[in-house]
Amino acid sequence: MLKFISIKFIVTEFLKVFHRFPLTLLCSLIAASTAHASMWEAGVANQIWYSKIILTCYIGLCFSLAIYLFFESKTESKTNTILKQLLAVLVPVLFYFSIYNTANIWTENIFQRNFVLLLVGHLAVAFSAFLQKGNLSSFWEFNKSLFLRFITASVYTVVVFLGIFGALLACKELFGLDVNDKVYGTIFFWCNIFFQSCIFLAGITNKENLYAEQIDYPNPLKIFAQYILLPIATLYLGILYAYEIKILIAFTLPKGWVSSLVLAYAVLGLFCFLLLHPIKDNDENKWVKSTLKYFYWSIIPLLVLLFVSVFVRINQYGITTERYYILGLSLWLAGITFYGVISKNLNIKLIPISLAIVHLLMVIGPVNGFMVSRISQQNRLEILLVKNNLFDGTKITANPKPIEKTEAEQIRSIVSYLVKSNNINDVSPLCGIDLIAIETELKKDSNYNSQFQQYKIADSVFRVLNILEDLTKISDTIKLKIDNDNIHLTYFNCTIEDIYETNGAKYMLKRFNYPYNSEKTFEFNKEKLVSYHTEKIDTLWIQYQNKKYLANMEKMKNDLGTLMKKEPENGSIDVKQYIIPLVNGDEKIEVRLQSISMNSRNELENIEYYVLVK
């Protein structure tokens, strides 16, 4: 007789997981709930707050799981029980307060730091239970089970999401059920965050079997490592050796991109041999052990290539967080390679442990990458400014004469890097402009977007230095660009941004360019309005009260073309509250253009407009 899984069984398994990993499960629940709420609420400020909560929960999820597994390796006691719960709570709380005053967690430096911390959390899960107990066999078996469980949980998640998605879509198409698009996103978050976490946590090896020495080695794993990963790693090795021979013959310096390929080869090779580790001593697999030795020796010539590539770029352009990160990984790889060459019995636990330590030092150590890169770029900036008479010893001074193009580009690059890296404090004293006060004022806007405002702040410095690019000397921020085909881009903008004549409209709804090729729904006073435009902006329509208003894009393009002919050399043209013509318009709807771009091929892009509902 066919048996379905009972509710009692599901509840029992869920309670087991909750009893073993309470805060881990709670973090996944809060993250899913917050992602759910973010789908249904507008406002940049709220979205930033939601992002902080979700990120904190992900950090808490990884580190709390590592903490619980670590304490499972210790003797069970009341003290240890209390301590593990305190530590599991303390880590996400401290992390949240570290980003509490951050305007935007997606800025370059903050994103890199958080990404590295998440990576450290995942690595800690791999080894935390084996810091004090367990041999290499149990360590390998545990991580194999984690790897396979993650794949299983991911497959279950995809199947459940697609099943629910298909069911809702069927009800929508067959029965006319009104399903908001946000429902699908909500279901995705619940499946991908909470459901997947439950499935993954339920499959983690229990405490009684955590240190079992018996290995269950699946043959597909050997096939995957031996016949897929190993040939790919060999291909990379051949390419890198051929490139090294090429630059030796040509006597040229290596390209910066080669460092990423060397690291990719090393990581791929290490992962391959970690998968093959349990069978390396078998008689039929003795080739694994000898090949592993050759692998470490094969890395040595590539290390020379790697360090030359890194230091050439550092010498030319100074240290950035990315170069510091690559340098740190290069030093780690050199250490692991040296250990692999001299060691007879490789301790595979050292690989994730040492990698986690190196990553922590790079983001929160006394000489972390953010501090080192800031000092390096500051020094480069000051040297370039002094060389071009743009610095009087205390602050930046404007230079009426144009400076050499390459050095102007370097100065622009450094200023942009420092501003994007949230190092405005380092730039502000140099230029005599209180950039911090400007940023503080900008943050008062409820729709503050720090990534966009960074360009404005950097532009302010460029103006003081008189090093704005020729095609960006306009009254606002960067309005022009030149692509690979040298296409001139004209920016049409309504300059009266704070005062609008609403002509008696009840509502004024703003629509940005992104996401294009999708409908944007506004709900207000029990009414609904839908706006849509394509990526190429050749179609735009508004639907309100069962009527679809179609914009006459051809007429608008002709009108803008006429304006462009009147001011052919001006990159930013005031459209003076231009009203987009509607084919079937009436007194209820008015579409007011805020900004749009047109290139020399008369192609439109990057539109912003207001819909006035009367």
**What does each C-alpha distance from 154 to 150, 160, 161 come to in angstroms?**
6, 10, 11
pLDDT, tens digit, for every residue of 385-427? 878 777 766 666 666 666 777 877 787 788 777 777 765 666 6
Pairing of strands 527-533, 540-544: antiparallel
| Average pLDDT across the chain, whole number | 80
Residue 458 has pLDDT above 70, yes or no: no
- What pLDDT, on the 0 to 100 scale, is given for residue 104? 59
What angle is formed at CA 358 by the lines to CA 352 and CA 359, rounded to 5 degrees?
A: 90
Pairing of strands 604-613, 572-574: unpaired
- What pLDDT, on the 0 to 100 scale, is given for residue 357? 95
Phi first, then psi: give them for residue 523, nearest 5 degrees. -120, 125
Highest mean pLDDT among 108-117, 162-171, 484-493: 162-171
What percentage of the chain has pLDDT greater than the value 70?
Answer: 77
Alpha carbons within 13 angstroms on the beta-carbon side of residue 474 total: 20
Report the amino acid identity of residue 34. T
- What pLDDT, on the 0 to 100 scale, is given for residue 246? 92
d(CA 325, CA 361): 10
Highest mean pLDDT among 214-218, 296-300, 405-409: 296-300
pLDDT, tens digit, for every residue of 512-526? 655 555 677 777 777
- What pLDDT, on the 0 to 100 scale, is given for residue 120? 96
**What does each C-alpha distance from 257 to 243, 262, 306, 311, 326 come to in angstroms?**
12, 9, 10, 13, 11
Residue 107 has pLDDT above 90, yes or no: no
The mean pLDDT of 554-576, rounded to a whole number, is: 71
Q: Where are the beta strands (DSSP E) in 254-385?
A: none
CA torsion 21-87-196-56 (nearest 10°) is: 150
What HEC string does 278-311 produce?
A: HHCCCHHHHHHHHHHHHHHHHHHHHHHHHHHHHH
114-118, 183-187, 466-470: which has the minimum mean pLDDT? 466-470
d(CA 249, CA 484): 33
d(CA 112, CA 108): 6
The pTM of the full predicted model, rounded to 2 decimals, is 0.72
- What pLDDT, on the 0 to 100 scale, is given for residue 481? 30
Q: Which residues pair with 596 in a beta bridge?
A: 492
